[in-house]
């Protein structure tokens, strides 16, 4: 890869990785403050309720990234008016998604929480957290949905700064609301919303100052734009939400076979592994503006070189996280205020989840490349293979195979390893078809 291309790659990817790292810390800040305030019950409750927050943010990411990719490709082809209509249509769709999600969660709160596994003592604190999160869905959807446009307009460093501002706000208000004012679960939720609100306002200010060209498309074109965006959004949405979908499935089976203690232990594991997953997504999404730009101009060889560099960067991030978390595995539960027994369980099972980090990096970079080049069908395959495989393994291992709670713990690495094999086949197919010529 030429020096200028490498410099451009790191100029996009490094701020993206740092921004996603902060996004990952978002997922553990509430757990840290609530766990150290309310103990295992609070930790279990926030673990059960967090998937709702993650779903809302993933919906914003999916729609926003789909819009930003199409926006970049249209601009690269010189179709400025269509690009502006795409951006405006994305904003309209983000608003519609916000209203829909708030309404659905508030109308179906009780059955939703029971579906997630909130029962008995965990139901009330989980409902307290989720109710507030749902009310502020618009802040989360727009915060996550506008940031991809900033990156694709060359503002990767600014996007990182916007997320830093939101992250610091979340920490400060978590301390104030949860520890000082003792607002409990609701306080943690309000702190999360305030942090996302800061990021959203920073994003709006940047796009207005940049004069990004957002314009409302004609009413007749809006349904077609929205439908196209929703189709493209399924892959980045799924990639963002897949760790949380794993959390939902694991919570249900761990509650059945291991009880509240196993759910609390998995909460600690999922918080720290979620950061690694987001770091890997940062590599993939950080390289996306470059890859989409090369794709729009037909520069296939440059696109392939960018993907190769993304594989190297993703593998390096995964290897570093593997070593650090293995060394610190005995302290992870303590960080979240878990009991001695729960902390011991975390230290025992965490290596199972770390064993597949390198294959997972490969899968995530491959998936990001596919949706950056609008290969939606193949990206769907990689995104949704893991949760489907996980569900099959969870149905088979703990009960019918007689492995109990250990069967549930083994299901995640086995599903990820199988998805990696599928990703190898997908990459081979893509290389044979898309890169049969190397002009660029």
- Sequential DSSP letters for 122-182: GHHHHHHHHHHHHHTHHHHHHHHHHHHHHHHTT-HHHHHHHHHHHHHHHHHHHIIIIIIS-
d(CA 210, CA 423): 38
What's the confidence (pLDDT) of residue 438?
Answer: 42
What's the confidence (pLDDT) of residue 28?
Answer: 65
- Both tokens of 211, joined, read 């004069």
What's the confidence (pLDDT) of residue 24?
Answer: 62
What's the confidence (pLDDT) of residue 23?
Answer: 67
d(CA 278, CA 163): 14
Selection from 175, 181, 97, 194 nearest residue 136 by Cα: 194
What's the confidence (pLDDT) of residue 386?
Answer: 92
What's the confidence (pLDDT) of residue 360?
Answer: 95
Between the two ends of the chain, the Cα-to-Cα distance in Å is: 12
d(CA 138, CA 149): 17
CB of 19 within 8 A of CB of 284? Answer: no
What is the reported pTM? 0.77
CB of 408 within 8 A of CB of 254? Answer: yes
CB of 347 within 8 A of CB of 333? Answer: yes
Helix, strand, or coil here: 53? Answer: helix
Q: What is the DSSP letter of 50?
A: H
Domain boundaries, the chain: 3-434
What's the confidence (pLDDT) of residue 363?
Answer: 95
What's the confidence (pLDDT) of residue 4?
Answer: 66
d(CA 323, CA 331): 14
CB of 372 within 8 A of CB of 288? Answer: yes
**How large is the greatest C-alpha to C-alpha distance in the chain, in angstroms?**
63
Q: pLDDT 10s digit of each residue in the chain, 440 long? A: 567 678 888 888 888 888 777 766 665 677 778 877 787 788 778 878 888 998 999 999 999 999 998 998 888 888 888 888 999 999 999 999 999 999 999 999 999 999 888 888 889 999 999 999 999 999 999 999 999 999 888 888 898 899 889 989 999 999 999 999 989 899 999 999 999 999 999 999 999 988 777 888 877 888 899 999 998 888 889 878 887 788 888 988 998 898 878 888 998 898 788 889 889 988 988 888 888 888 888 888 888 888 999 999 999 999 999 999 999 998 888 877 778 888 899 999 999 999 999 999 999 999 989 988 878 788 889 988 999 999 999 999 998 888 999 999 999 999 999 999 999 999 998 888 765 544 44
What's the confidence (pLDDT) of residue 421?
Answer: 97
What's the confidence (pLDDT) of residue 437?
Answer: 46
């Amino acid at each position: 890869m030429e020096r200028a291309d490498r410099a451009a790659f790191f100029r996009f990817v490094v701020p993206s990785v740092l921004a996603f790292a902060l996004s990952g810390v978002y997922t553990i800040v509430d757990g840290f403050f609530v766990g150290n305030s309310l103990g295992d019950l609070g930790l279990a409750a926030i673990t059960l309720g967090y998937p709702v927050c993650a779903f809302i943010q993933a919906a914003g990411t999916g729609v926003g990234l789909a819009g930003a990719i199409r926006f970049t490709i249209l601009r690269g082809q010189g179709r400025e008016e269509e690009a502006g209509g795409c951006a405006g249509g994305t904003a309209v769709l983000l608003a519609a998604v916000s209203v829909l999600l708030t309404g659905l969660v508030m109308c179906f709160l009780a059955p939703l929480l029971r579906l997630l596994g909130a029962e008995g003592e965990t139901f009330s604190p989980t409902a307290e957290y989720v109710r507030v999160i749902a009310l502020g869905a618009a802040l989360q959807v727009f915060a996550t949905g506008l940031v991809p446009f900033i990156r694709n307009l060359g503002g990767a460093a600014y996007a990182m700064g916007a997320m830093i501002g939101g992250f610091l706000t979340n920490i400060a208000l978590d301390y104030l609301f949860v520890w000082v004012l003792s607002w409990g679960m609701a306080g943690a939720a309000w702190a999360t919303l305030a942090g996302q609100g800061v990021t959203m306002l920073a994003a709006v200010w940047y796009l207005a100052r940049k004069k990004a060209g957002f314009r409302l498309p004609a009413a007749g074109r809006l349904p077609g734009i929205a439908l196209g965006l929703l189709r493209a959004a399924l892959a980045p949405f799924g990639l963002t939400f897949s760790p949380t979908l794993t959390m939902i499935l694991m919570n249900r089976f761990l509650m059945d076979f291991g009880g509240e203690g196993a759910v609390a232990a998995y909460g600690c594991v999922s918080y720290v592994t979620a950061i690694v997953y987001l770091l890997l997504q940062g590599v993939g999404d950080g390289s996306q503006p470059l890859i989409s730009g090369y794709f729009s101009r037909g520069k296939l060889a440059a696109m392939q070189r960018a993907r190769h560099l993304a594989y190297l960067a993703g593998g390096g991030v995964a290897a570093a996280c593997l070593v650090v978390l293995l060394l610190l595995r005995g302290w992870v539960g303590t960080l979240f205020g878990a009991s001695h027994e729960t902390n011991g369980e975390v230290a025992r099972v965490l290596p199972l989840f770390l064993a597949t980090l390198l294959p997972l990096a490969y899968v995530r970079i491959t998936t990001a490349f596919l949706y950056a080049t609008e290969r939606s069908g193949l990206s769907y395959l990689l995104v949704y293979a893991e949760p489907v495989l996980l569900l099959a393994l969870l149905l088979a291992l703990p009960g019918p195979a007689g492995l109990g709670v250990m069967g549930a713990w083994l299901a995640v690495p086995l599903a990820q390893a199988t998805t990696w094999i599928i990703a190898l086949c997908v990459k081979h197919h893509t290389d044979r078809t898309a890169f049969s010529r190397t002009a660029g």
